Amino acid sequence: MKEISILIGGKAGDGIRQAGQTVSTLLNRIGYRIFFYDDYPSLIRGGHNFSIIRASEKRIIAHKDSVDIIVALNKDTAEKHKSRLNAEGMILYDSKAVDTEGVGIDFMQIVKQLDGLPIMRNTAAIGALAKVLGIEWPVVERVMKDTIEKQVALNLNIAQLAYEKVGTSRFVIEKLDQKSLPLVSGNEAIALGAVRAGLNMYIAYPMTPASAILHYLAAHEDDLGVVTVHPESEIAVALMALGAAYAGARSMVGTSGGGFALMTEALSLAGQGEFPVVFIECQRPGPSTGVPTYTMQGDLSFVVHAGHGEFLKVVLAPGDAEEAFYLTGLAMNLAWKFHIPTFVLSDKHLSESIFSFAADPDKIKPEPPLIWDGQGKYKRYLDTQDGISPLAFPGDPAATVKVTSYEHDEYGITTEDPDQIARMQEKRLRKKEGLIDELAKNEQVKIYGNRESKTVLLCWGSTKGACIEVAEQLGLKVVQPLVLKPLPIDPLRQALSDADMIIGIEVNATGQLAKLLSGHGFGIDHMILRYDARPFTVDGLLDKVKEVIS
């Protein structure tokens, strides 16, 4: 397989992510499929940042621990990551800052020579790297023109001088005969999926790793037309979203575990009042502030069980950018069809990684909700056969729309009558039948690898990328449920019934999916858990799976 992995590292503030994205674009332009992983501390300046760009001729959604090239803008990068280098690997380094073996170039000297800014050191590094990779200068030039916003000519001169200083190329990265795909982060895919499903309003309080959804939608208010609001707290966020939904706007909120903790009050209100709202929960390691800029799949139990009282909700768990796109669209349409809160459960590894994106936008359309026909007196909570009460919105001259957090009658007026209470609870829960039918129209459990294998790697969310590649190498089967509530029992049973050995693979300390499934009679034989706030890599997981199956 034609592929290459490049690690770029430096201090926070060196523009590492930006440099990594430019390198990704470069390789993307010549036909490679990209997976981009970003590792950064919760700091604005200093510390150690690095990005790994993995490019391959085939679709990939995971990175490896081992790399072919390290681009070291500081000493730390060379020292911390040297051990990752493959046998043929090399280090391209800033010779002023680092003393090591490989190709050393004084990037700062180049920047100074051309009167550039210190941050442009990463431009020099990109230029040099392009030469190391054997990429022709015109390709580099075109990509830099497309990706750099300011001082294009200056940046190009810096990159070109560094490109020339390298002398001979060390690798031959051939141009591949396949079309480039857009490079999209998990968060962008979530935003775009919601927009395709008719998102009107996105409300959020800043919290890593969900913040980029708010940044993206705010920056694109001009062309995507979504109203974005950043209010005083996640409590206000969730309430505003419910208020907007009441008034007919398709609204969505996004946060991480700590922010979602504040939203659970409103979540219950969405259950009682039957509000359609989409919640995006981008997990990061907890408890509490935890490790803010790293990853964990630690909130599955919390989200599945969140909210006091008994009510219907949907939890969807995408594992790559396309799934993030489709499932967010589905979450929006399900919310409005059944008037329930729906969830997309992401994590830092999915949200902030960048993928070659091959989704079909036409697969998502905003499905109109059931609207009141204007006959008789409007009852917001009309008791219907499928539990779905037609919607009317405030301002409608024929309807008075009353909703409440109290148990209520069909008109939305508070009640303490035992028959009414039981009846309305049944009405709401009855929607589950239709919901299950609707979910069944979609793929709920994905299977990868060797379908005949009796050894199953059971995973969810962003862990799928590493699992799929490991399974392909070892001839195993991967089972990935996309729907985590209501659990798709039959498809799971079908996928798991032949298995002799089920290995649960999760990025958490207690095996939350395994626990959830064990409550439905599925036995998990082995667990491979990672809870050091880092995602599984292909090579790292391969060794662990080999240990278990040997």
Partner 1 sequence: MAIKDYLRERFFPHLWCSGCGHGIVLNSLLRALADLGMSKNEIVMVSGIGCSSRISGYVDFHTLHTIHGRALAFATGVKLSRPELNLLVPMGDGDALAIGGNHFIHAARRNIDLTAIVMNNRIYGMTGGQYSPLSGQGIMATTAPYSNIDYDFDTVELAKAAGATFVARSTTYHTQQMTKMFRQAILHEGFAMVEILSQCPTYFGRKNRAGSAIDMMESYKENTTPIGSKSKMENPDLIERGIFVQKEVPEYCNEYDKIIEKAMKGR
Q: Is residue 252 part of the contact set for partner 1 (CB under 8 A)?
A: no
Stretch that binds partner 1, among 158-166, 262-270, 347-355, 494-502 (CB under 8 A): 262-270
Window 447-476: residues binding partner 1 (CB under 8 A) = none
The least distance separating partner 1 from the CB of residue 415, rounded to whole angstroms, comes to 11
Nearest to 279 by CA among 215, 322, 332, 208: 332
The least distance separating partner 1 from the CB of residue 183, rounded to whole angstroms, comes to 24
Q: How many CA atoms lie within 13 A of 246 on its CB side?
A: 18
Stretch that binds partner 1, among 143-151, 292-300, 389-397, 540-548 (CB under 8 A): 389-397
Residue placing its CB nearer to partner 1 in the complex, 31 or 231:
231
Residue placing its CB nearer to partner 1 in the complex, 185 or 200:
200
Residue placing its CB nearer to partner 1 in the complex, 52 or 226:
226
Q: Which of 245, 317, 364, 514 binds partner 1 (CB under 8 A)?
A: 245
Q: Are strands 67-72 and 3-12 parallel, antiparallel or unpaired?
A: parallel
Direct distance between the N- and C-terminal alpha carbons of the chain, in angstroms, rounded to an integer:
26
Nearest to 391 by CA among 343, 340, 316: 340
Question: 454 CB contacts (<8 Å, ≥6 apart)?
Answer: 477, 498, 499, 500, 501
The least distance separating partner 1 from the CB of residue 137, rounded to whole angstroms, comes to 34
Give SS3 for 66.
coil
Residue placing its CB nearer to partner 1 in the complex, 244 or 364:
244
- Residue owning tokens 């010549």: 30
Residue placing its CB nearer to partner 1 in the complex, 154 or 247:
247
Residue placing its CB nearer to partner 1 in the complex, 221 or 490:
221
Q: Is residue 368 part of the contact set for partner 1 (CB under 8 A)?
A: no
Residues 469/425, Cβ–Cβ less than 8 Å: no
Q: Is 384 exposed, middle or buried (0-12, 13-18, 19+ CB in 10 A)?
A: middle
C-alpha to C-alpha distance for 283 and 358, rounded to whole angstroms: 24
Residue placing its CB nearer to partner 1 in the complex, 287 or 395:
395
The least distance separating partner 1 from the CB of residue 523, rounded to whole angstroms, comes to 41
C-alpha to C-alpha distance for 481 and 276, rounded to whole angstroms: 23
Q: Which of 126, 128, 181, 269 binds partner 1 (CB under 8 A)?
A: 269
The least distance separating partner 1 from the CB of residue 423, rounded to whole angstroms, comes to 19
The least distance separating partner 1 from the CB of residue 6, rounded to whole angstroms, comes to 36
Stretch that binds partner 1, among 51-59, 61-69, 185-193, 387-395 (CB under 8 A): 387-395
The least distance separating partner 1 from the CB of residue 378, rounded to whole angstroms, comes to 10
The least distance separating partner 1 from the CB of residue 344, rounded to whole angstroms, comes to 20
Sign for the pseudo-dihedral over CA of 481, 485, 491, 497: positive
Q: Is residue 370 part of the contact set for partner 1 (CB under 8 A)?
A: no
C-alpha to C-alpha distance for 234 and 214, rounded to whole angstroms: 13
Residue placing its CB nearer to partner 1 in the complex, 27 or 263:
263
Q: Is residue 369 part of the contact set for partner 1 (CB under 8 A)?
A: no
The least distance separating partner 1 from the CB of residue 146, rounded to whole angstroms, comes to 21
C-alpha to C-alpha distance for 145 and 143, rounded to whole angstroms: 5
Residues that contact partner 1, how many (by CB under 8 A) = 44
The 194-233 site mask, x for binding partner 1 (CB under 8 A), equals ------xx-x-----------------xxx---x-x-xxx
Q: Is residue 149 part of the contact set for partner 1 (CB under 8 A)?
A: no
Stretch that binds partner 1, among 71-79, 116-124, 235-243, 314-322 (CB under 8 A): 235-243
Token pair of 157 as six digits: 């001169």
Three-state SS for 477-519 is EEEEECEEECCCHHHHHHHHCCCCEEEEEECCCCCHHHHHHHC
The least distance separating partner 1 from the CB of residue 515, rounded to whole angstroms, comes to 31
- Residue owning tokens 């200083």: 165
- State the virtual CA torsion across 324, 19, 219, 354 in degrees, nearest 10: 0
Token pair of 240 as six digits: 């505003």
The least distance separating partner 1 from the CB of residue 39, rounded to whole angstroms, comes to 33
C-alpha to C-alpha distance for 507 and 6, rounded to whole angstroms: 24
Residues 288/258, Cβ–Cβ less than 8 Å: yes
Token pair of 168 as six digits: 């001979």
Interacting residue ranges for partner 1, rule: CB under 8 A: 200-201, 203, 221-223, 227, 229, 231-233, 235-236, 239-249, 251, 265-266, 269, 273, 393-397, 400-406, 412-414
